[in-house]
Amino acid sequence: MEFTFEVKETDLLGRVGELRVGGKTLETPYMFPVIHPVNQQIPTQELTSMGYAGLMTNSYIIYSRRRQEALEKGIHSLLGYDGVFITDSGGYQVLEYGDLEIGYKDVAEFQARIGSELAVTLDRPTGYPQKRPVAKASVDYSFKNAKATLDEFGEEKTTWVGPIQGGLYLDLVRRSAKSLVAAGFEFLALGSPVQVMQNYMYSDLVDMIVAARRAIPYSVPLHLFGAGHPLTMPLAVALGCDTFDSASYVLFARSGRYMTRSGVLTLKSMKYLPCSCPACAATSVTELSEMGHQERTRVLSLHNLSVLREEIESCKEAVSEGRLWDLVEERSMAHPKLRDAFARMAEYSRDLEVGTPALKDRGLFVRSDLDRARPELAIAKSNLAGATSKRSKAARVVAGPSGSREKADEDLYGVHPVLGAYPIELQFQYPFSQTETSLAQAAPPDPKRQLKALGYATVKKRAGEGKPVRSRRTRRGASPSLRSSSARSR
Ligand SMILES: [Zn+2]
C-alpha cells in the first residue's frame, strides 16, 4: 500500500508532517482515539465530526468476537468509519486472556483481510517492572513476528507497523528499533509500559523515546503507544513522536475524570467546567452529576477528546511558530515529575538541534536555568565559535546597536545575556539581539574576561554607553574556565 510520510515543519525533534496511507491523509502529530469494536460508547460519527481522521482498535477483540462479520464487511463498514484505521495486534490480550491459539500469521492475515490501513504486528509488550531476560524475550518474540509478517505479507495493502519493545532497558529499545528499521519497516511504534505512565515516570519515558529515536532515521515516523494524556503530549512530540493512541478519554470519563490542559480533575470535587467545548457549554457540573452513568461518560468523553485535540493542535502550532520548547516548559509546571522530565529533555539538547530552525522570527525566551540549555542557544554558541576572529589588539564592548563611528583598530563586540561577548557583525543574526531574559537569567559571562581570554590586550566599553546588562549573579554565572584563565593573564 502507498505509504508516505512528509515532514513539513520542524522544531526541536518535533515535526508537523503528512502521513499518507491507502489514499487517506493524516496530519501529524496525531492522536488515534482507541475504540472498542464491540462496546463503543462514542459513536464513530461523532469522532469524525470532531476532526478525528484516524482511529485505533484492537484486531484481537474483533477476531475473537466479530470475526465472520468483519471478514464479510471489512473494518470500515463494520465500525462505521471511513478514516484511517490502525489496528493493534492484541498482543497483550493474547498474552493475558488468550483462549485462542493465535500466531503472527493469523493476526496479520486477519488485519490485511479486514482492510486495516495500518496494522501492528503481533508483539509481546515488555511491561514494567520486568526482569531483563523477560524483557529481552519480549523484544526477540516481537521482532521475529514482525520480520516474518513483513516477509510474508509485505505485498498486502496494509502498512505494517513495527513494535519496539524493551521497556526501561534502553539498549534493548535501541536494538529493537534498529533491527525493525533494518528489516524494512517504514513506521515504528514504541511500547510505553502503562505502569511507567501511571507512576509518573516521565523522565524514564524521555530516555526511552530518545533511545528509540536515535536508532531510527529522522524520516521514519514514530508512534507512541498509549500516551494519550494532554500533559505528556508536547514532551513526546518534542522528542520526535509523531502519533499516539489512547483510550484515556473514555477510561477517564467512566470514572468521572475531567481532562484539562494542566491536569486531570475529578468531577466530584468540581464546581465549574473550565472549558467552552460544545459538550461543556451545553451542561453544568450539577447536570453532569445528576446524569446516568452512560450519558455522563459520553459527555465527559467528548470533552476529553476535545482537550486532546486542542493539545495536538497546540503542538502543531508551537512547531510552526518555533515555540515547542516553550510549550513543553509551560506544561511541565503542572507536575513536579513532568518538570523532572523537562530537565531530562534539556540534557538531550544536542539531539534536539536536528530539527530546530537556525532562524526564527520571534524572540527567544530564557526564563529559567533549564532554558539556558535551549538548542537555539547551543546552535548560536557554535556559530559564535566559528565567527569570532581577532583582528585588532583592542576590543570594545558596546551595549546597543553599533553605529559607524568606530575606530578602525578596535574589534567591536556586543553582549548576549546568556552567551556573553559576540562579534557585533552577528547583531542581526538570530538570536543575538532577539533573546529576552527574565532578570534572574540575565547573567552573561563577564565579556571583558571572555575577550581577554581571546587574547585582546585591552578591552574597553564604548564611552557614553550604558553598561551591558549585568546582575549580581554575573560572577557565579561566569564560566569558571574563562574566569581562571583571565585571572592568570593579569
Ligand atoms: Zn469541554
In order, the DSSP letters of 264-333 are EEEGGG-S-----SHHHHT--HHHHHHS-HHHHHHHHHHHHHHHHHHHHHHHHHHHHHT-HHHHHHHHHT
- Among 184, 182, 148, 185, residue whose Cα is nearest residue 163: 185
- Please indicate, yes or no, if residue 97 is contained in any of the structural domains: yes
Residue 131, C-beta contacts closer than 8 angstroms, at least 6 positions apart: none
Backbone angles phi, psi at 387, to 5 degrees: -95, -15
Distance 254 CA to ligand 1 centre (A): 15
| Active-site hit among 88, 123, 204, 242 | 88
Total number of domains in the chain: 2
The verdict on whether 88 is a catalytic residue reads yes
Same domain, 286 and 386: no
CA-CA distance, 42 to 459, in Å (whole number)? 70
Query: From the CA of 381, how far away is ligand 1's center (Å)?
Result: 44
**382 alpha carbon to ligand 1 midpoint, in Å?**
45
177 assigned to some structural domain: yes
Tell me: do 274 and 328 sit in the same domain: yes
**Does one domain contain both 398 and 305?**
no
Q: Residue 404 has what pLDDT?
A: 47
Q: What is the CATH number of the domain that holds 142?
A: 3.20.20.105
pLDDT for 192 equals: 80
Q: How far is the CA of 295 from the centre of ligand 1 (A)?
A: 15
Cα 468 from Cα 414, distance rounded (Å) = 8
Q: Is residue 172 part of a domain?
A: yes
263 C-alpha to ligand 1 centroid (Å): 14
**pTM (whole model) above 0.85:** yes
Is 60 contained in some domain?
yes
CA 112 from centre of chain? 30
What does the pLDDT read at residue 277? 97
User: Domain check: are 305 and 419 in the same one?
Assistant: no
Same domain? 103 vs 173: yes
Last-in-domain residue among 306, 339, 372: 339
- Note whether residue 345 is domain-resident: no
| pLDDT, tens digit, 9 for 90 and up, residues 14-62 | 999 999 999 999 999 999 999 999 999 899 999 999 999 999 999 999 9
Record the cell numbers describing residue 89, joined without a space: 495486534
Alpha carbons 13 and 295: distance in angstroms, whole number: 40
Q: Decide if 139 contacts 165 (C-beta within 8 A).
A: yes
Q: What is the pLDDT of residue 387?
A: 84
Residue 236 shares a structural domain with residue 179: yes
Same domain, 330 and 373: no
Q: Is residue 129 reached through a cis peptide bond, with omega within 30 degrees of 0 on the bond before it?
A: yes
Dihedral angle sign, alpha carbons of residues 53, 59, 61, 62: positive
Question: Cβ-count burial of 99 within 10 angstroms (0-12 exposed, 13-18 middle, 19+ buried)?
Answer: exposed
Strand partners, 224: 190, 244
Is residue 346 domain-resident?
no
Ion ligand 1 neighbours, Cβ < 5 Å = 275, 277, 280, 303
For residues 471 and 378, membership in a common domain is answered with yes
Question: Would you state the cell numbers that stand for residue 72, as one nine-digit string?
Answer: 464479510
How high is the pLDDT of residue 418? 93
Task: Show the CA angle centred on residue 441, arms to residues 439 and 447, nearest 5°.
Answer: 105
**What confidence score (pLDDT) does residue 440 get?**
86
Strand positions, DSSP E, 409-477 = 410-416, 420-423, 435-437, 458-461
Angle between helices 324-332 and 293-321 (to 10 degrees): 140
Q: How far is CA 129 from CA 96, 169, 199, 205, 286, in A?
A: 16, 11, 11, 14, 41
Residue 99 is predicted with a pLDDT of 63
- Ligand 1 centre distance from Cα of residue 272 (Å): 11
* Residue 151 lies inside a defined structural domain of this protein: yes
Calculate how far, in angstroms, residue 200's C-alpha sits from the geometric centre of ligand 1: 25
| DSSP character string of 342-395 | HHHHHHTHHHHGGGS-S--SSPEEE-SGGGGG-HHHHHHHHHHHHH----SSEE
- Report how far ligand 1's centroid is from the alpha carbon of 313 (Å): 15
pLDDT attached to residue 483: 32
Are both 410 and 268 inside the same structural domain?
no
386 and 279 in one domain? no
> What string of pLDDT tens digits covers the 490 residues of the chain?
689 999 999 999 999 999 999 999 999 999 999 999 999 989 999 999 999 999 999 999 999 999 999 999 999 999 999 999 999 998 877 777 766 678 999 999 999 999 999 999 999 999 899 999 999 999 999 999 999 999 999 999 999 999 999 999 999 999 999 999 999 999 999 998 788 888 999 999 999 999 999 999 999 999 999 888 899 999 999 999 999 998 999 999 999 999 999 899 999 999 999 999 999 999 999 999 999 999 999 999 999 999 999 999 999 999 999 999 999 999 999 999 999 999 999 999 999 999 999 889 889 999 999 999 999 999 999 989 888 888 899 999 997 665 545 567 899 999 999 999 999 999 889 999 899 999 888 888 999 999 999 999 999 987 544 444 443 333 333 333 333 333 333 2
ω before 29 within 30° of 0 (cis)?
yes
In a domain, 128, yes or no: yes
**Domain hosting residue 60, numbered range:** 3-339
Ligand 1 mean position, distance from CA 33 (Å): 17
Query: From ligand 1's centre to the CA of 215, what distance in Å?
Result: 39
DSSP element (H, E) containing 64: helix 59-65
Q: Who's near 373: CB < 8 A, 6+ residues apart?
A: 346, 347, 349
Q: Are residues 209 and 246 in the same domain?
A: yes
Question: Measured in whole angstroms, how far is the alpha carbon of residue 174 from the centre of its chain?
Answer: 18
Measured CA distances, 53 to 13, 19, 326 (Å): 24, 11, 28
Rounded Cα distance between 183 and 164, Å, is: 13
Q: Ligand 1 center to residue 47 CA distance, Å?
A: 15
Residue 202 and residue 263 in one domain: yes
